């Protein structure tokens, strides 16, 4: 069986849908900046980071330091969320100021802003579209059956069970994000702010790792670094994975209207303010894709507008719980991974064993 992709015929065009919703959003002032909110977020991050540093100094040679490592992984992810919002011009008034802030914040978590921005911009323009969205390109995990079928060797073994392996593999995502960014900075010919980003990444790694390896025994230091990278990777992964994985895949040549493309391929996560805090506003993925520059505090109100419009116009609006979203991701990846199975394998034998 071949995976099918959605195209123009599957989704009827929504004439003036985005224009109508956008007009209501603007009239309600939901695109205005909320500096007070981001000032509080920044203050909270500074206090948390200060507490982690203080705890590291006071604990000394103790395995409780691994709790500090885990806390740093969480704090760096929250800084990453803030950097993501700055890149979308949600935080400050002017675009250039937002971009400068985003470059600094994303560099402080060990990633290249240029690499991430190039990738993320393509994703926002064409979410879940074959050949255009880099977020569904194969990278150990296959998000398309045609990619799964092409896997070979050890990767093929992973692909067959990739749904179950997805969350364990996220422990390596943090390290991969660092390496991908550095590779981009050192190999791409034209990169704006190349040396600033390299300096930020190297300086950040030095600021985190040098004190760790100086003050802690070697084994504990490696464990500290491993836990910090793992928590950062898992947290980043579980924040971004529910947004589009398992939603319709758009065929390469499809030309859909903006509203349809963004709403049909995105999934919201219910749960209220605590989920919004935990996921950095990414739980309102539908609204974020429709209005990328909308500040986090306004997304909940925008959700009511968009959801009501979708209901009145028979447009599916996808929202589920955070745990259900993870189950959907696992199920979808396992289904895609079946393409990497041996075509001569018998499902009944695999399930019940050989006679």
Go through 144-163 and write b for each residue having 16 or more CB atoms within 10 A of its CB, e for each that does not: bbebbbebeeebbebbbebb
Residues forming a β-bridge with 139: 141
Residue 244 neighbours by CB under 8 Å, 6+ apart: 127, 128, 135, 136, 265, 266, 267, 285
Q: Is the pLDDT of residue 191 over 80?
A: yes
pLDDT (0 to 100) of residue 155: 93
Confidence of residue 355 (pLDDT cuts 50, 70, 90): very low
8-state DSSP, 6: B
Cα atoms in the Cβ-side hemisphere of radius 13 Å centred on 170? 17
Q: Is the pLDDT of residue 347 over 90?
A: no
Q: Is the pLDDT of residue 345 over 80?
A: no
94: left (phi over 0), alpha (psi -120 to 50) or beta: beta
Let me know: does 236 contact 173? Beta carbons within 8 Å: yes
CA dist., res. 346 & res. 290, Å (int):
45
Q: What is the pLDDT of residues 326-336, one digit of tens each?
A: 999 999 999 99
pLDDT (0 to 100) of residue 342: 59
Neighbours of 218 (CB within 10 A): 8
Mean pLDDT on 177-200: 92
pTM confidence score: 0.91
Distances (CA, A) of 154 to 90, 138, 161, 176, 338: 42, 15, 12, 18, 15
CA dist., res. 284 & res. 310, Å (int):
15
Mean pLDDT on 9-34: 89
Let me know: does 306 contact 255? Beta carbons within 8 Å: no
Q: Which helix (H) or strand (E) holds 349?
A: helix 347-352
Least confident stretch, 5-19, 29-43, 156-170:
5-19
pLDDT cut 70: percent of the chain above it: 94
Q: Is the pLDDT of residue 353 over 60?
A: no
Mean pLDDT on 213-239: 96
CA dist., res. 158 & res. 164, Å (int):
9
pLDDT (0 to 100) of residue 350: 43
Please name which of 208, 214, 182 lies closest in space to residue 72, comparing C-alpha atoms.
Answer: 208
Mean pLDDT on 311-332: 95
Please name which of 343, 342, 340 lies closest in space to residue 150, comparing C-alpha atoms.
Answer: 340
Q: Is the pLDDT of residue 325 over 80?
A: yes
Mean pLDDT on 33-39: 96
Residue 9 neighbours by CB under 8 Å, 6+ apart: none
pLDDT (0 to 100) of residue 2: 55
Q: What is the pLDDT of residues 112-128, one digit of tens each?
A: 999 999 999 999 999 99
Confidence of residue 343 (pLDDT cuts 50, 70, 90): low
How far is it between the farthest Cα atoms of the chain? 70
Let me know: does 267 contact 322? Beta carbons within 8 Å: no
Let me know: does 236 contact 117? Beta carbons within 8 Å: no
For the chain, strand residue ranges (E) read: 268-269, 319-320
Q: Is the pLDDT of residue 354 over 50?
A: no
Mean predicted lDDT score pLDDT of the chain? 92
pLDDT (0 to 100) of residue 349: 43
205: left (phi over 0), alpha (psi -120 to 50) or beta: alpha
pLDDT (0 to 100) of residue 253: 86
Q: What is the pLDDT of residues 47-99, one digit of tens each?
A: 999 999 999 999 999 999 999 999 999 999 999 999 999 999 999 999 999 99
């Amino acid at each position: 069986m071949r995976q099918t992709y959605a195209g123009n015929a599957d989704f009827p065009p929504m004439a003036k849908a985005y224009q109508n919703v956008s007009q209501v959003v603007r009239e309600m002032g939901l695109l205005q900046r909320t500096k007070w909110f981001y000032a509080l977020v920044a203050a909270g991050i500074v206090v948390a980071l200060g507490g982690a540093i203080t705890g590291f100094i006071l604990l000394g040679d103790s395995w409780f330091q691994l709790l500090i490592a885990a806390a740093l992984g969480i704090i760096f992810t929250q800084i990453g969320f803030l950097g993501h919002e700055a890149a979308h011009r949600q935080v400050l008034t002017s675009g250039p100021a937002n971009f400068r802030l985003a470059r600094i914040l994303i560099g402080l978590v060990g990633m290249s802003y240029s690499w991430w921005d190039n990738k993320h911009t393509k994703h926002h323009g064409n979410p879940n579209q074959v050949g255009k969205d880099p977020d569904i390109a194969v990278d150990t995990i296959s998000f398309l059956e045609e990619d799964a079928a092409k896997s070979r060797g050890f990767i093929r073994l992973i692909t067959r069970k990739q749904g179950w392996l997805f969350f364990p593999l996220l422990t390596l995502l943090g390290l991969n994000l660092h390496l991908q960014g550095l590779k981009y900075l050192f190999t791409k010919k034209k990169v704006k702010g190349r040396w600033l980003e390299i300096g930020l990444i190297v300086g950040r790694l030095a600021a985190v790792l040098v004190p760790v390896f100086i003050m802690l025994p070697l084994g504990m230091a490696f464990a500290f670094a491993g836990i910090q990278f793992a928590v950062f990777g898992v947290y980043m992964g579980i924040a971004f994975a529910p947004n589009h994985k398992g939603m319709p895949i758009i065929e390469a040549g499809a030309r859909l209207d903006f509203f349809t493309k963004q709403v049909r391929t995105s999934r919201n996560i219910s749960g209220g303010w605590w989920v919004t805090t935990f996921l950095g506003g990414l739980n309102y993925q539908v609204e974020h894709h429709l209005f990328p520059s909308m500040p986090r505090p306004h997304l909940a109100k925008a959700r009511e507008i968009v959801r009501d419009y979708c209901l009145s116009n028979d447009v599916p609006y996808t929202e589920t719980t955070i745990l259900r979203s993870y189950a959907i991701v696992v199920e979808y990846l396992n289904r895609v991974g079946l393409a990497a199975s041996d075509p001569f394998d018998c499902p009944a034998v695999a399930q019940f064993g050989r006679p």
